[in-house]
Chains A and B, each alone.
Chain A
Amino acid sequence: QSALTQPPSASGSPGQSVTISCTGTSSDVGGYNFVSWYQQHPGKAPKLIIYEVNKRPSGVPDRFSGSKSGNTASLTVSGLQAEDEADYYCYSYAGRNNVFGTGTRVAIL
């Protein structure tokens, strides 16, 4: 049950795009199309922004998109806005358990 690997930080200027990677194994990310992504602002509960690799819940802007290739999933945030500054976590189903990524702090320059 090792955490999925994410870069500690990422950044971009308003209007630019940022992509966050999430690397696991064939037992989690690579084995199922059940990767989701969460946004968390300081002191707040996480918010679901992507599920089943690339589906967006109602109300989540289409600036957020997800993809997967092999054991690595990715989240892209396009047209960065000030409110996108937050921590982002990937999450994968892994059979008899679930596992989160290590988290990535996105800063808006």
Chain B
Amino acid sequence: EVQLVESGGGVVQAGGSLRLSCAASGFTFSTFWMHWVRQAPGKGLVWVSRINSDVTTTDYADSVKGRFTISRDNAKNTLYLQMNSLRADDTAVYYCARAGVPAANDLWGQGTLVTVSP
């Protein structure tokens, strides 16, 4: 089955760190750009970061630049998001998504909730 499964969410204190994982299966993970997108409770979708297939390009939203790091292990079919210096406004459901068509995300995980307590 073609799917993405996120894990690693939880409750963390402000200033703390968390690493999210996204396990891919059913497709050739190593050939796709991958993205992280987040959604605060009751709010809209916000693009967070992206990484290309061979890890030569990473981009970030200004709100997370310098605090979050996207990475991937193509041998393990896994995408990561290392989140440091977490703030209350980072509280959100974090989705990983595949860019299976040009500049669009055609496959999404179910999301993992990150809660940052003050």
Mark A residues whose CB is within 8 Å of B: 1, 3, 32, 34, 36, 38, 40, 45-48, 51-52, 55, 57, 87, 89, 91-93, 96-103
In contact, A51 and B61 (Cβ under 8 angstroms):
no
Is A51 in contact with B101, judged by CB distance below 8 angstroms?
A: yes
| Chain A residue with Cβ nearest B4 | A45
> How would you classify the secondary structure of chain A's contact residues: helix, strand, loop or mixed?
strand
Q: Lowest 5 CB-CB distances: which A-B pairs, in order?
A: A34-B103, A36-B104, A51-B104, A93-B103, A45-B108
Given contacts A3-B44, A100-B46, contact A91 B59 (CB under 8 A): no
Q: A1-B61, A45-B110 are in contact. List 17 more A-B contacts (CB 8 A).
A: A1-B62, A1-B63, A3-B44, A36-B105, A40-B45, A45-B111, A46-B37, A46-B45, A48-B105, A51-B103, A57-B106, A87-B44, A91-B104, A92-B103, A98-B35, A100-B45, A101-B44
Beta-carbon contact of B102 and A102 below 8 Å: no
Contact B59 A102 (CB under 8 A): no
**Is A100 within 8 A of B95, CB to CB?**
no
Known A3-B44, A46-B95: A36·B103 in contact at CB below 8 Å = yes
